């Protein structure tokens, strides 16, 4: 009986050796590849968390500078943020925050530069859209209507499409293009959800002022000529 068991164990051992001789190297390299991929993934996760934490510190510095009304401090922190952590959402949010302070402090060129950077470099389409809308508003305030329309001609995520249309309508109306403005206001009104509340009513008022019934579609621009 012991001899039979010894023979079976030897056969199993020989089969294992044969299997390992044939497939051992491949299995070893596969394990190495899996471990390398896992190490790289965990390393990337750690790096991203560290980058976000460091970016948050600079974002707080921008916030403190803005709260204190300190333009120089805010611009220094924003420059560091853009240089070191420009690909983070914190950087784009910091640019938006800095732009507000710069606008309030009568620094229009710097405010526009911050918003233009965020509109181009922000990691999310939503942040880019917010930056474009605010940049267009600054252009409109400076009567740079063509620049405002150029900024608003970019692609916007679906939730922002009505907002961009409303801004285009404002610019066109200021240019005296009442029919084109009515078309844009109509797009905005129809695109805004019914629960948009006061904003949708405001767009409706703009259409009424142009002789357009919002509930009729808001696109009968001929009535506003």
Tens digits of residue pLDDT in 72-102: 999 999 999 999 988 889 999 999 999 999 9
**CB-based contacts of 87: which residues, under 8 Å, 6+ apart?**
121, 123
Query: Is 161 a residue whose pLDDT tops 60?
Result: yes
Q: Is the pLDDT score of 44 beyond 50?
A: no
Does the predicted TM-score (pTM) go above 0.85?
Answer: no
Beta-carbon contacts of residue 130 (< 8 Å; ≥ 6 apart)? 96, 118, 160
Does the pLDDT at position 158 exceed 80?
A: yes
pLDDT band at 55 (very low <50, low <70, confident <90, very high): confident
Residues in contact with 184: Cβ distance below 8 Å, sequence separation at least 6, in sequence order? 165, 166, 168, 169, 172
pLDDT at residue 222 in the model: 43
- Those residues whose C-beta lies under 8 Å from the C-beta of residue 192, and which sit 6 or more positions away, are 162, 199, 200, 203
Domain positions in the chain are 49-124
């Amino acid at each position: 009986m012991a001899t039979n068991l010894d023979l079976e164990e030897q056969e199993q051992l020989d089969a294992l050796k044969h299997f390992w001789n044939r497939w051992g190297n491949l299995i070893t390299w596969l394990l190495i590849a899996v471990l390398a991929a896992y190490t790289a993934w965990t390393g990337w996760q750690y790096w991203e968390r560290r980058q976000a934490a460091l970016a948050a510190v600079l974002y707080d510095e921008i916030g403190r500078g803005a709260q204190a009304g300190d333009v120089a401090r805010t611009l220094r922190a924003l420059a560091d943020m853009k240089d070191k952590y420009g690909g983070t959402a914190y950087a784009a949010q910091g640019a938006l925050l800095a732009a507000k302070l710069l606008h309030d402090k009568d620094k229009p060129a710097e405010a526009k530069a911050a918003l233009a950077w965020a509109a181009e470099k922000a990691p999310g389409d939503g942040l880019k859209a917010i930056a474009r809308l605010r940049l267009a508003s600054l252009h409109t305030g400076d009567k740079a209507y063509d620049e405002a329309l150029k900024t608003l001609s970019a692609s916007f995520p679906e939730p922002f499409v009505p907002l961009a249309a409303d801004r285009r309508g404002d610019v066109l109306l200021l240019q005296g293009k009442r029919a084109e403005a009515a078309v844009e206001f109509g797009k905005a009104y129809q695109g805004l959800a019914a629960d948009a509340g006061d904003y949708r009513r405001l767009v409706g008022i703009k259409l009424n002022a142009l002789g357009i019934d919002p509930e009729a579609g808001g696109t009968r621009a001929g009535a506003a000529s």
